Amino acid sequence: MSKTQVNTKPVAQEKNAGQAGNFFRENQKSVIFIVGAIFAMVVIYVAYQKLYIAPLEVKAANQMHVAQDFWAKKDWDKAIKGDAGYPGFQKIIDDYGNTKSANLAYFYLGTAYLNKGEFQKAIDNLVNYRGNDSMVAAEAFGGTADAYVELKDYDKAVTYFKKAADKASNKFLTPLYLKKLGLVYETQNDNQSADETYKKIKNDYPESPEAQNIDELIARTEAKL
């Protein structure tokens, strides 16, 4: 290696360091402003969560149990609208919209509307559920699919039954939603997809209640192929 080559690297490093230093000096105010703004946003977010959202979470949870009792008793109107000074799920959503309780209320409210036969309202609420509970999320997808079936929007029903089966990923709900999916495929005269779906129940969930008469459904679809 030549002497010229040896000296080139340190010179280049000094030049780069000098350019970085010049950039910071020239933009010092902007850099400080950006860092300060980020710090302020973090502080505001933490304060918002602790001082505003946390008390709302407690209040919403304390008021929601009456609506849940009505829902469990299938008193859908009172579950939706409330009774005797206690809010229904709709008011929980309106008053505590950023809380976990309000998020769960979307599921309860959507299911209540589904049972009342108000299918578009059911969809509007169920699709707003954003919880981490895979079982509840699967039921929200499944309820949405059921509502679309009632509205005869079978393409969307297929989409949501698939989501429900995938999200559930268990031996209880997945075969249930797969069977419903297969029935929708048959309604669409997509017998090949129906046959494949029924066989998935037979092969992957042989102990499920849905598998008990699955051979009849497979025979029916294969007769149409």
pLDDT digits (tens, 9 = 90+) for 88-97: 999 999 998 7
Can you tell me the mean pLDDT for 90-109? 92
| Residue 50: predicted pLDDT | 46
How confident is the prediction for the chain on average, in pLDDT? 84
Can you tell me the mean pLDDT for 152-165? 98
Among 155, 154, 175, 150, smallest CA distance to 165 is for 175
How far apart CA 104 and CA 118 sit, in angstroms, is: 19
How far apart CA 154 and CA 149 sit, in angstroms, is: 6
- Cβ-based neighbour number of residue 12 at 10 Å: 10
- Both tokens of residue 139? 């039921």
- 12, pLDDT greater than 60: no
- 71, pLDDT greater than 90: yes
pLDDT band at residue 31 using 50, 70 and 90 as cut-offs:
low
- Cβ-based neighbour number of residue 191 at 10 Å: 17
Contact status, residue 79 vs residue 71, Cβ threshold 8 Å: yes
- Cβ-based neighbour number of residue 71 at 10 Å: 23
How far apart CA 86 and CA 64 sit, in angstroms, is: 8
How far apart CA 140 and CA 108 sit, in angstroms, is: 9
| Residue 97: predicted pLDDT | 76
pLDDT band at residue 75 using 50, 70 and 90 as cut-offs:
very high
Lowest mean pLDDT among 16-25, 125-134, 186-195: 16-25
CA angle 113, 116, 122 (to 5 degrees): 25
Sign of CA pseudo-dihedral 25, 28, 30, 35: positive
Can you tell me the mean pLDDT for 132-150? 96
Which residues, including other chains, have CB under 8 Å from residue 81's CB and lie 6 or more apart? Answer: 88, 90, 91
How far apart CA 1 and CA 58 sit, in angstroms, is: 72
| Residue 115: predicted pLDDT | 98
| Residue 29: predicted pLDDT | 63
| Residue 54: predicted pLDDT | 58
| Residue 8: predicted pLDDT | 46
pLDDT band at residue 98 using 50, 70 and 90 as cut-offs:
confident
Whole-Å CA distances, 47 to 41, 43, 55, 195, 197: 10, 6, 12, 55, 50
Can you tell me the mean pLDDT for 177-195? 98
| Residue 45: predicted pLDDT | 39
- Both tokens of residue 215? 């051979």
